[in-house]
């Protein structure tokens, strides 16, 4: 197989490369067709996917890919609010350019999206058929990217995930570990609920999906719903840190950080379509987190 991974230096991009090279993930063995796969792993300094001409030139100069996995994105939610033009280029135009290049060359596209396409007003897990209505610039830019990618290439998987953490790069778990080691108390929002998700589990499911022809929209998060404060508490307890988690409301946080973008109150996803196609192998979030915390030597950045 010939595979292109964009956003290769991020949490998910790194995990995908590791799994393809080893043939395994924390969930289990990968499909055998990934053995001896040829991987082009690129980041922004290699290719700006929001540049249509540059994207076309890359595909023309690097042969035909079987699968393109797009992990490139502008994920700073507050930054998207203050700079929507940059967010739209990265999160909407970039996926569209990749999808067009894939369609022209016959490649499948796996595009990673977000739970933030939903408003968070309904306190039940969202399924793929539910209508999105993002409340932030980040969510709007990602929703636009979904539609543009699906329209440009019928061989597209859009996979929405949430609250992602991996061994390489910055994330909420590493932030809490650092704060827990240096502070007695940390304040965390307790009225925003969602699904903490291991990049290891997500990468496994993306690679499992990519060898099928079950195109369309998927949800892919670890199982179970919690608040950010619940997540922080589980991190402190799992790492044996004495730091106390002080719970606050979103309104309290907004008063302390008025520049912050609005987040969905309830953005939990249900992996309905995974379950009806390849099977839902995503672990309970506490189980995945325990595995992550038991491997501190793998954490980088």
Q: Where are the domains of the chain?
A: 2-171+196-224+268-284
Is 266 among the residues known to form the active site?
A: no
Each residue's pLDDT tens digit, 220-261: 999 999 999 999 999 999 999 999 999 999 999 999 888 888
Q: Which has the closest alpha carbon to 111: 76, 79, 67?
A: 67
Q: Which of 254, 259, 262 is nearest to 135 (CA)?
A: 262
**Level-2 CATH architecture, domain 2-171+196-224+268-284:** 3-Layer(aba) Sandwich (3.40)
- Mean pLDDT across 182-206: 97
d(CA 181, CA 162): 25
Taking the C-alpha atoms of residue 92 and residue 184, their distance in angstroms, rounded to an integer, is 41
Tell me if residue 226 falls in helix, strand or coil. strand
Judged against a pLDDT cut of 90, whether residue 280 lies above it is answered with yes
For position 260, what pLDDT does the model report?
Answer: 86
Is the separation of the CB atoms in 13 and 199 below 8 Å?
no
Residue 35 pLDDT > 70, yes or no? yes
In this prediction the pTM is 0.96
Q: Is the pLDDT of residue 297 over 90?
A: no
Is the predicted pLDDT of residue 301 greater than 70, yes or no?
no
Q: Which of 34, 65, 116, 138 is catalytic?
A: 138
């Amino acid at each position: 197989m010939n595979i292109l991974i964009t956003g290769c230096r991020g949490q998910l991009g790194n995990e995908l490369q590791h799994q393809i090279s080893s043939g395994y993930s924390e969930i289990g063995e990968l499909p055998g067709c990934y053995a001896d796969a040829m991987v082009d792993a690129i980041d922004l300094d290699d290719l700006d996917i929001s540049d249509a001409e540059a994207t076309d030139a890359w595909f023309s100069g690097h042969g035909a890919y079987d699968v393109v996995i797009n992990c490139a994105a502008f994920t700073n939610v507050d930054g998207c609010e203050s700079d929507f033009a940059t967010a739209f280029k990265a999160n909407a135009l970039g996926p569209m350019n990749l999808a067009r290049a894939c369609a022209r060359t016959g490649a499948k596209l796996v595009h990673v999206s977000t739970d933030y396409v939903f408003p968070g007003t309904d306190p039940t897990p969202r399924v793929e058929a539910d209508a999105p209505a993002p409340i932030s610039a980040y969510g709007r830019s990602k929703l636009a990217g979904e539609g543009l990618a699906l329209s440009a290439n019928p061989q597209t998987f859009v996979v929405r995930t949430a609250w992602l953490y991996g061994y390489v790069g910055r994330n909420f778990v590493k932030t809490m570990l650092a704060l827990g080691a240096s502070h007695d108390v940390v304040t965390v929002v307790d009225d925003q609920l969602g699904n903490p998700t291991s990049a290891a589990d997500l990468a496994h499911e993306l690679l499992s999906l990519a060898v099928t022809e079950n195109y369309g929209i998927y949800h892919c998060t670890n199982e179970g719903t919690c608040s950010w404060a619940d997540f922080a508490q589980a991190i402190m307890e799992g790492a044996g840190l004495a730091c106390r988690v002080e719970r606050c409301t979103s309104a309290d946080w907004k008063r302390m950080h008025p520049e912050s973008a609005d987040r969905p109150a309830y953005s939990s996803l249900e992996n309905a379509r995974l379950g009806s196609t390849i099977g839902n192998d995503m672990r309970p979030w506490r189980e995945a987190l325990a595995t992550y915390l038991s491997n501190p030597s793998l954490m980088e950045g």
